[in-house]
Amino acid sequence: MKNIFFILIFVVSAVHVYAQELPATPSEQTVDSSFEQIERTASDVTEQTVQPKKEDAEFKYKIEKIYPEPKRPSVKSESFLAQADESDSYVKECSDTFRYGLEEDIATLLDELTKNDDLRFVDPIYDLFQSTKSPSIRNKILAYFTKLKDPCLADYAVAVINDPYDEKKDTVDACFKYVAAAGCIEAVPGLVDLVDKEEERYFNGALSALGDLGGREEALFLSSYIDRDDLTVAQRQSLMRVLGKIKAVETWDKLSEIAQDEDENSFVRMYAAEAIGAMEKSESEDILLDLFESDDPNFRVYVLKGMSYFHDSKADALVMQALRDSQYKVRLEAVESAGKRDMKEAVPYLIYRCRDKNEQKAVKDKCYKEIARLNTKEGNEYLVEVLKDKKIGDTTKVTVAANLLEFNHAGTDAVIELARESLKSDVTKKLRYALGKEFAKYGRPEFEEICSEYIASEDVATQGTGLDIWAKGRYEGNRASVELIAADAEEKEEPSAENKKTYQFGVKKKNANAKKAKRILEQSASKPVDAVSHADENISARSKTSSDVNAAPATEKETAPADNDVSADNSVSVDNVASESETSAAVESGSVVEQASETETVSASVSEAAK
């Protein structure tokens, strides 16, 4: 009996142990796994709530300031100096000026080299920048390398932007322009910092440079500024333009609202309208088309600027409509847009505007430019017709001639013939000077013969203009004539025994342009093409596309310019050119007036002796 009892106890224990070792039932497994899944989902939701996505959170700019290493200019002076004649006194004169010259002499030379894109002195100019203590010279050198777009001064400019408070305002502004032109992206964190500090004296300059250098990170940073209430109207205007320039599409919704808000500041609305067009989102096009119906002509101008980023039939149709707008500023912008968009179908409209006696001069001058650019048979024939029309004034003819020569599609022979006619009479002397100045911009072989005729003129200023034309083209057929003029700078004429006592002005030069001719010959005949004349090869670089509406928009009270106003874009004043030519001739001669006085004195003395 006892044995049976113990056997039962053993069986019950074994069953209990076996039951504990069995796996859970399916239902139990489902409950457990479901609970775990719920826990994980809740954890994920909590994590997403605590750590939102970067683009949904307030953006924090975290890039630290950068200090680039010093580096020398990318272009070497030696490569260009090697092309120059070893006896070139101009090179020696410039080198001596950099070594020993006064501050004003160096400043004048830097302005000349910057204007001419002269690369022969990049190394001495760079070395001067490192040693000079003059802020004005430093700014001149910054302007020189800004035009060359050489990042060799990035270390200095970025350091100034990172900490501008000990520098003069004009130096900081020069650094803003330099980093933007030279593409110094190392300056971006410093620019962001200045914008973030919102100091009025640096805000606009830093923001403008940021528009040229910034990317998506900077666009996200700037997008937070749209809703700020503490920005001035000027700062908001600058912000609108930069957001469009940097293509901060994250801000499109807000900018489109601003552009359509009639209660918003009108200037802010203008820049917002241009900005949404610059972002090139298809939704912008219909909005801009509706906004063009505004009564404000300044606003219509900026709507048109925004539409210029779209290249389809809708945008073209708006440009054609704007050519007939009642406000001249809108027509001016439409004419420029037609040229940029290569809308050859607009040429008849442009010709009509030119023939309209009531049209503004600024619009006519812009039309002449775009007709020459578009290069159609009808347009070219019209411009040549203007040059030959005796009833049309010389100022208009010079403007047309300048555009024909700039784009060089047609009309060169007509311009040369007009200049040749002007050489026949001093009545058209001013026209002669103005056309000569245009020839002197280009070194084209077809100008050799007219250059010879200018040099052969007995008029001092005309001959001096001919020397300018030759300096650009270096025509071998005219070299002997230039050398003959230059020889007078060396030859001295001793006064005769009869009038030796009455000759008060010492040695008299035979030709007032002798020094000028000598200097031109001394300058290297093989001037670096890349340094001096590369602008001739790139016609678009010569084209000034900015008009008066590219500046701050005019107020509603601004009056339209009179018919005799000079266009700021491409018109040429015959009177101004004539004045420049005559003044230049006087300077080159030492003094034309003194020579005349000298001659009169000698004549008077001889007459007195005869009596």
- CATH number, domain at 187? 1.25.10
d(Cα 144, Cα 159) in Å, to the nearest integer? 19
The per-residue pLDDT for 216 is: 82
Amino acid at 571: S
Residues ≥6 apart with Cβ < 8 Å to 503 = 495, 598, 602
pLDDT greater than 60 at residue 571: no
**Is there a domain that residue 462 lies in?**
yes
User: Quick check: is 98 in a domain?
Assistant: yes
Residue 156 reports pLDDT greater than 70: yes
Of 214, 232, 264, the domain-final residue = 214
Looking at the domain assignment, is residue 127 inside a domain? yes
Domain that holds residue 473: 434-489+514-521
> Does 269 fall in a domain?
no
What pLDDT shows up at residue 462?
A: 96
Angle (CA) 261-266-270 rounded to 5° is 85
- Other CB atoms within 10 A of residue 165 CB: 8
Round to whole Å and give the CA distance between 246 and 426: 55
Radius of gyration of the chain (CA): 37
Q: How far apart are CA 207 and CA 190, in angstroms?
A: 11
Domain boundary (163, 179, 214) is at 214
Q: What is the pTM of this model?
A: 0.70
Q: Which of 48-57, 289-298, 466-475 has the lowest mean pLDDT?
A: 48-57
**Of 476, 500, 521, which residue constitutes the final position of a domain?**
521
Q: In angstroms, how far is the first alpha carbon of the chain from the final one? A: 182
3-state secondary structure of 141: helix
pLDDT of 252 over the 80 cut: yes
Residue 147, burial from CB neighbour count under 10 angstroms (0-12, 13-18, 19+): middle
Q: Once rounded to an integer, what is the mean pLDDT over residues 392-407?
A: 97
Residue 363 in any domain: the answer is: no
Q: Label residue 490 left, alpha or beta by phi (over 0 means left) and psi (-120 to 50 means alpha).
A: alpha
pLDDT over 70, % of the chain: 70
CA 429 – CA 515 distance, rounded (Å):
23
Spacing of C-alpha 438 from chain mean position: 21
- Higher-confidence residue of 175 and 490: namely 175
What per-residue confidence (pLDDT) applies to 39?
Answer: 45
Average of pLDDT values for 579-601?
45
Q: State the average pLDDT over residues 516-522.
A: 87
Any domain includes 243:
no
Contacts of 532 (CB under 8 A, 6+ apart): 116, 117, 118
Residue 392: what residue type? I
* Domains contained in the chain, number: 2
Asked, for residue 105, whether it belongs to a domain, the answer is: yes
The pLDDT tens digits of the residues spanning 194-218 come to: 998 878 899 999 999 999 998 888 8
Whether residue 456 is contained in a domain is answered as: yes
Q: Determine the pLDDT at residue 594.
A: 39
Cβ atoms of 545 and 336 within 8 Å: the answer is yes
Question: Among the listed ranges 222-226, 251-255, 276-280, 288-292, which one has the minimum average pLDDT value?
Answer: 222-226
**Of 193-207, 420-434, 440-454, where does mean pLDDT reach its minimum?**
193-207
**pLDDT score recorded for residue 162:** 95
| Contact of 258 with 272, CB cutoff 8 Å | yes
In this prediction, residue 140 has a pLDDT band, given cuts at 50, 70 and 90, of very high
Query: Residue 410 pLDDT more than 80?
Result: yes
pLDDT above 80: residue 260: yes
Chain-wide mean pLDDT for the chain?
79
